[in-house]
Amino acid sequence: MATYLDFENKLKKIQDSIVSAKIRNDEPAVEILQTELNEEVEKVFSTLTPYQKLQLARHPDRPYALDYIRLIMTNYYELHGDRHFADDKSIIAYLGYIGEQKFVVIGEQKGRGTKKKIMRNFGMPNPEGYRKALRISKLAEKFGLPVLFLIDTPGAYPGLGAEERNQSEAIARNLLELSKLKVPTISVVIGEGGSGGALAIGVADKLAMMRYSVFSVISPEGCAAILWNDPAMVETATQALKITADDLKGMNLIDDIVDEPMIGAHREKEATASSLKDFILTEYTKLAELTTEELLEKRFARIENYGAFEEVFETELTT
């Protein structure tokens, strides 16, 4: 059954009424209710708060990386392992076609249902997951294939074993090596982009976010706990962190926002996948026109521009 958030309750009532009208074969009622539903969607989703967007980014019905891979790829084949320690199930990697172009797709997978969530470690990769992502990125580079990264994680796994196997080094290594990769790379935040866990596969020629995704240095819950020691302050923390796609685009920290249906990807998965596919192929076409040297220069310029600031002289401050 579909899951509805608190602010979606009225939508649920209208949709339930539409189902009942269809069962009764009452077409006039269906038309009236559909109009009412469209108006309610416009009313609710055009005024979403940052916290409501965070809830949508974490929605249990929202498409995960594996959903998008199945919807936008053909002839895909899964790749496994980091060749050092293990095959981290929270990082998935596939070789296949998007349209007519062969791609390597690497994503973070949360899993649905208790067994799958545990198997995928709730989408929180261990060091071997990031080393797996790097190994397969290097494989793509060897064969001249573009790489697509799909970001969706609460963060890198903070467990004892992860620290023993050097989680921080694995993330730092990816930042370095992916910045030098000699093939076109595109990274898209499809849900939740949490801290270093997202950055580890977030270095790319194009960094984009889905309309209702978030990208943050810390979870709003963690921020509320540190600053106020009060879980009730999570909405205030979400607002202050500026983690939505619109916020980050406004600060030039991402390149693009990938549109999704106003009602959200969790309600119209196929339409969202189609939008994502169009974005990927359009951006790849632009990147494919660049030489390797141009590609690396532009990527370096993007990275160097992060955190840019403007100097203000003391005389200007006193006037």
Q: Find, among 98, 101, 222, 113, the residue nearest to 150 by Cα.
A: 98
C-alpha to C-alpha distance for 302 and 299, rounded to whole angstroms: 5
For the chain, what is the domain count?
1
C-alpha to C-alpha distance for 276 and 278, rounded to whole angstroms: 5
Residue 69 lies in a domain: yes
- The structure's pTM equals 0.91
The residues, ordered by sequence, that sit 6+ positions from 300 with a Cβ below 8 Å of its Cβ are 179
> Which tens digits make up the pLDDT trace of 159-206?
999 999 999 999 999 999 999 999 999 999 999 999 899 999 999 999
pLDDT at 313: 64
Question: Does the pLDDT of residue 235 top 60, yes or no?
Answer: yes
- Of residues 306 and 311, the one with the higher pLDDT is 306
pLDDT at 309: 67
Question: In this prediction, what percent of the chain has a pLDDT beyond 70?
Answer: 97
Residue 232 lies in a domain: yes
Q: Find, among 169, 164, 96, the residue nearest to 136 by Cα.
A: 96
> Domain range spanning residue 259?
53-305
Residue 241 lies in a domain: yes
Q: CATH code at 275?
A: 3.90.226.10
Mean pLDDT computed over 116-141: 96
Residue 317 lies in a domain: no
Residue 10 lies in a domain: no
The distance in angstroms from the start CA to the end CA of the chain is: 63
- pLDDT band with cut points at 50, 70 and 90 for residue 90: very high
- Of residues 48 and 307, the one with the higher pLDDT is 48
Residue 2 lies in a domain: no
